[in-house]
Amino acid sequence: MSMRKISFGKAINEALHQEMERDDSVFIIGEDVAKMGGDFGVTRGIWQKWPDRAKDTALSESAIIGLASGAAVCGLRPVAELMFADFIGVAFDQLVNNAAKLRYMFNGEVSCPMVVRAPTGSGIRTAYHHSQSVEPWFMNVPGLVIVAPSTPYEAKGLLIASIRNEDPVIFLEHKSFYSIKGDVPEESYEVELFKAEVKREGRDVTIVATMSMVALAEKAAEKLAEEGISVEIIDPRTLFPLDKDTINRSVAKTGRLVIAQEGPKVMGFGAEIAAMVVEDVFEYLKAPVKRVTTMDVPIPFSPVLEDYVVPTDVDITEACKAVVEF
């Protein structure tokens, strides 16, 4: 494949263009996604090519997801954009009680192949209503697939795989990523869903990290390597259903686990990983599991306070040292 460096946002845009070119049943729906090209510019150029397949909506998340799920049941493949993941709660009933349940209710005879793209996370100073990490809200809902890329390469390949998947997918895009660049093939390709990636091999401690926490984990791993501590980094990529085997194998090898999670600690993504590891590979643990998370407070608007409550690479470094020295 021919590689070149493009941004995370451009990688998603390219995935949308290529899937719409390939499959006439794919269409885009959301607030300002047509002529304007989306609030973050991710759907630029699509309305100009396919004016009948890129539709602006009213400011109503419940209408967007309700229409998308209905269209999916009728044989189309909608990609719905919500301007901020925080407002996905407005469409909770449409996602949780309708889209997620349809395939099960009809014994597989009906599916709901829709993708909900949603910018998530902190880092660009958008305060309490626009900076939350929403993945735990939906990880308790069988029937939904939750995808969280951490690189431009993954963004393109995972989105293509999500559009082709038969179940409803919540596709989380960390809003601080849109301008970061990485190697991405020009051609269409899929990154396998439900498969974690070992980002870095190590022997002393496993870090499970998602989205923005992956880069911080890599920074921490570099610092720790200078002190003789070898870190293995696992990025789940699909948060639900989870690739448990890759995580368990890593923890069984290193005997130590640190979970780096953006979002509050209580009932967060890290709590499920910790519980799973204790249930499945407890006998291999050499130290208690550590969670590095956002504080249990709303994300402040003040840049200084936002930086204070969200995890840093220093926090991850200290957690790794604590489990290694236990």
CATH number for the domain spanning 25: value is 3.40.50.970
Q: How far apart are CA 274 and CA 252, in angstroms?
A: 13
236-272 pLDDT, tens per residue?
999 999 999 999 999 999 999 999 999 999 999 999 9
Q: What is the pLDDT along the chain (326 residues), one digit of tens a residue?
A: 789 999 999 999 999 999 999 999 999 999 999 999 999 999 999 999 999 999 999 999 999 999 999 999 999 999 999 999 999 999 999 999 999 999 999 999 999 999 999 999 999 899 999 999 999 999 999 999 999 999 999 999 999 999 999 999 999 999 999 999 999 999 999 999 999 999 999 999 999 999 999 999 999 999 999 999 999 999 999 999 999 999 999 999 999 999 999 999 999 999 999 999 999 999 999 999 999 999 999 999 999 999 999 999 999 999 999 999 99
Range of the structural domain that residue 181 is part of: 3-185
Residue 160: inside a domain, yes or no? Answer: yes
**Pick from 141, 165, 185: which residue ends a domain?**
185
**Same domain? 23 vs 147:** yes
**Same domain? 31 vs 169:** yes
Residue 107: inside a domain, yes or no? Answer: yes
CATH number for the domain spanning 203: value is 3.40.50.920
**Same domain? 9 vs 111:** yes
**Same domain? 235 vs 298:** yes
Q: How far apart are CA 89 and CA 41, in angstroms?
A: 23
Q: How many domains does the chain have?
A: 2
Mean predicted lDDT score pLDDT of the chain: 96
3-state DSSP assignment of residue 195: coil
**Same domain? 144 vs 14:** yes
**Same domain? 85 vs 168:** yes
**Same domain? 223 vs 273:** yes
pLDDT of the residue at 1:
76
Please name which of 219, 215, 165 lies closest in space to residue 8, comparing C-alpha atoms: 215
Type of residue at 76? L
> How far out from the chain centre does Cα 159 lie?
11
Residue 152: inside a domain, yes or no? Answer: yes
Please count the other Cβ atoms lying within 10 Å of the Cβ belonging to residue 266. 9
3-state DSSP assignment of residue 191: coil
Q: Indicate if 129 belongs to the active site.
A: no
Residue 192: inside a domain, yes or no? Answer: no
**Same domain? 203 vs 316:** yes
Tokens 């496993």, located at residue: 206
**Same domain? 75 vs 218:** no
Phi and psi, residue 273, nearest 5°: -60, -45
Residue 79: inside a domain, yes or no? Answer: yes
**Same domain? 53 vs 178:** yes
**Same domain? 133 vs 202:** no
Residue 190: inside a domain, yes or no? Answer: no
Helix (H) or strand (E) holding 172: strand 169-174
**Pick from 185, 207, 228: which residue ends a domain?**
185
Residue 56: inside a domain, yes or no? Answer: yes
Please name which of 211, 233, 213 lies closest in space to residue 221, comparing C-alpha atoms: 233
Query: Out of 17, 129, 130, 174, which one is annotated catalytic?
Result: 130
Please name which of 192, 191, 196 lies closest in space to residue 246, comparing C-alpha atoms: 196
Residue 191: inside a domain, yes or no? Answer: no
**Same domain? 116 vs 235:** no
Rg (CA), the chain: 20
pLDDT of the residue at 29:
97
Q: How far apart are CA 242 and CA 310, in angstroms?
A: 24
